Amino acid sequence: MLELRLVQGSLLKKVLESIRELVNDANFDCSSTGFSLQAMDSSHVALVALLLRSEGFEHYRCDRNMSMGINLNNMSKMLRCAGNDDIVTIKADDGSDTVTFMFESPTQDKISDFEMKLMDIDSEHLGIPEAEYHAIVRMPSAEFARICKDLSSIGDTVVISVTKEGVKFSTKGDIGTANIVCRQNTSVDKPEEATVVEMNEPVSLTFALRYMNSFTKATPLSNTVTISLSNELPVVVEYKIAEMGYVRFYLAPKIEEDEEETKPQA
Amino acid sequence: MTAREALALFFVFFLPLHCFTHSSFSFSSLSLSPNQMGIKGLTKLLADNAPKSMKENKFESYFGRKIAIDASMSIYQFLIVVGRSGTEMLTNEAGEVTSHLQGMFSRTIRLLEAGIKPLYVFDGQPPELKKQELAKRYSRRAEATEGLTVAIEADNKEDIEKFSKRTVKVTKQHNDDCKKLLRLMGVPVVEAPSEAEAQCAALCKAGKVYAVASEDMDSLTFGAPKFLRHLMDPSSKKIPVMEFEIEKILEGLNMTMEQFIDLCILSGCDYCESIRGIGGLTALKLIRQHGSIENILENLNKERYQIPDDWPYQEARRLFKEPTVVTEEEELNIKWSAPDEEGLITFLVNENGFNSDRVTKAIEKIKAAKNKSSQGRLESFFKPAANPSVPIKRKGSKCLLRSFKPSIEHAMFSLQFSYRSRPMVLGKLTLPKYNPGSNLSVPLSGETPVNNTKETNKKAKGSGGRKKK
């Protein structure tokens, strides 16, 4: 038995819009801790990890750990039927093969039930170890989205390098090159407009812009974005969801010339 | 149709959308090949008895993987389907067939574009035992040739199509052409001393490649840890790649590798006849009951089953267990390199009548793909972990049979649940629709013990996943 009541129903819509481009089908995991999802894109280059903590829900009931296999496009179709101010309740009975989304209008004069079929999804769950990152950049999410969009009109990949001076995004394409430097800037009126660079070691990593651009679909979720980089690790692009959790995107870097050995498969 | 016309038509009609992917060709005619080669009925046997060993994956998910491909099987497929209509085939100006080149070129580019690193393995000398099987194939081809002559005389289009496909034979010339092409493309070629599948399996066991791709189920009998089917199917068919894992097969069938090999021999392999009346399912029962072919022979009802007079099952077993393969690093020389542009143009355009623009574009694609393969995979950073959640959707009875454990878990959960759920029925009736957001929801959410909630709060904070300084 599962019953989750979210007053700010539009949040769920935004969450879904942020991950739908990257992943088609995914298992939503439910536990006493919260409502979460971990899924990789089909090429296993990017991963999305979502967490909505139980405290963020007005009512949260989950009797046991369980997962629901959902086609995200279909779920998005249903959620788009909810009004922006609607309260959304997610309900599922044990052993049932459907999940119900209930939308209540703020004035309580309209209640809609949408029942969606669940599916069996064989997904691999990856263990993501805690890591100390060499550099962490926090910046306005809209600014990051703009940079990714602009650079992808020039090239396919972005080199993100962090030095003491700030963070540099560069690309190279057939028509030329582009470099955008964002300096540390904390003297702004609103804290969400600040650019904060924390660095233990300089890093420089190359990523496919295609994925970065799809991560920025999460921009409506948060005013700021946090980018954590380490030389040997996938980048983490995190959008915090106020008082509830986060959407984190992990992206494997491009590897310079590849004479790497095939790792023995367990 | 002259060669030029054929090519022109081919390009105009089949390639405008996906340039070099054979979007329009069907491999349906090939369904016969897996039935004729390899282990009889193994796919179905595994689907029924070890379903966890098979997994469907998207073609794209093999991104960045090195994969050993059984070249002869692929060439055979290309000769059958690429640019064929009736007895006409894609040829160059000299009238030599070029279907295999076209197929090999385009399909390899498709792999490279997907970021896959293919490695082709060619057959060497077939083992003595396979000669019988080869002789059978030869006579089938001879029959087909006769059938074709009759069909042409009778002008029966359907039969012409059918028989001409059956007369297809991969010659040394075809193999040599493809080797030359692949080397020019910068794709590694391995010449197996004997069977290509055995060599593929050895490469996979040694960790040189991630998996083996073929349509021949033999690869599993040779012990390839991971085996892929449908990797070389055209994208238009949208068939997902089927991945088999030998470890899970043995686990699912509850067998040792030796017993699995015996099972394959009993089911019918290329090396020796099978016992009349014993198919895959009976073989599985017998192996489970007796453990090995030797013990089965001792206990088998000789009245009912006729064991062939000359039945070299021990030799067949040895061929599967210890096939002749190359393992020396120097001899293999597996390297992916840049394509030889001039060489490709000379070979494909000048010698084999390919359209020069298409080839130039294709070379660009190879070069672009080279860049793409430097993209890392998440699995090389994060390791798979068990997901503690149980699917809410209770699977059908078929799935309950798959493994014993989950069905017990389900039963436990459903028991717990029915016990707990009773008071909630009331809550469900009163809470959401009529008093939303009212006081009623408070006692309900308070049903979880208070200290428990605190604990989960802590956990939620602790599981932040990464530290900030």
A253 — contact with chain B (CB < 8 Å)? yes
* Closest to B70 in 3D by CA, of B199, B208, B172, B207: B199
Say yes or no for a CB contact (<8 Å) between A5 and B460: no
Confidence band (pLDDT; 50, 70, 90) for B393? low
* Closest to A225 in 3D by CA, of A151, A165, A147: A147
Mean pLDDT of B304-328: 83
Cα pseudo-dihedral B17, B18, B19, B21, rounded to 10: -140
Mean pLDDT of B276-284: 82
Q: In what order do the strands lie in the sheet with B66-70?
A: B54-57, B241-245, B226-229, B211-213, B66-70, B117-122, B189-191
ipTM greater than 0.85, yes or no? no
Nearest to A254 among B376, B432, B444 (CB): B376
Q: What percent of chain B has pLDDT over 90?
A: 12
Range among A247-256, B123-132, B302-311 rated most confident: A247-256
pLDDT digits (tens, 9 = 90+) for B331-389: 777 888 888 989 999 999 888 888 889 899 999 988 888 766 578 888 888 888 877 67
Regarding beta strands B390-391 and A66-71, do their DSSP bridges make them parallel or antiparallel, or are they unpaired? parallel
What local confidence, expressed as pLDDT, does residue B405 receive? 37
Report the alpha-carbon distance of residue A104 to residue B17 in Å, rounded.
Answer: 47
CA distances, B459 to each of A54, A55, A59, B366 (Å): 11, 12, 19, 49
Question: What residue of B is the nearest CA neighbor of A113?
Answer: B433
Confidence band (pLDDT; 50, 70, 90) for B5? very low
Report the alpha-carbon distance of residue B25 to residue B30 in Å, rounded.
Answer: 11
Say yes or no for a CB contact (<8 Å) between B445 and A94: no
**Amino acid making up residue B36:** Q
B188 pLDDT exceeds 70?
Answer: yes
What local confidence, expressed as pLDDT, does residue B28 receive? 37
Say yes or no for a CB contact (<8 Å) between B378 and A46: yes
Nearest to A67 among B387, B410, B445 (CB): B387
CB neighbours of residue B135 within 10 Å: 10
Alpha helix locations (H) across B97-231?
A: 99-113, 130-154, 157-166, 172-185, 196-205, 218-221
Mean pLDDT of B254-281: 84
Say yes or no for a CB contact (<8 Å) between B391 and A43: no
Q: What percent of chain A has pLDDT over 70?
A: 96
Contact A58, A243 (CB under 8 A): no
Mean pLDDT of A154-166: 92
pLDDT digits (tens, 9 = 90+) for A5-60: 999 999 999 999 999 999 999 999 999 999 999 999 888 899 999 999 999 999 99
Confidence band (pLDDT; 50, 70, 90) for B17? very low
Confidence band (pLDDT; 50, 70, 90) for B51? confident
CA distances, B7 to each of B14, B20, B174, B181, B361 (Å): 10, 13, 19, 18, 16
B152 pLDDT exceeds 60?
Answer: yes
A161 — contact with chain B (CB < 8 Å)? no
Contact A118, A70 (CB under 8 A): yes
Tell which B residues from 61 to 120 touch A, by Cβ distance under 8 Å. Answer: 61, 63, 66, 115
Question: What residue of A is the nearest CA neighbor of B437?
Answer: A58
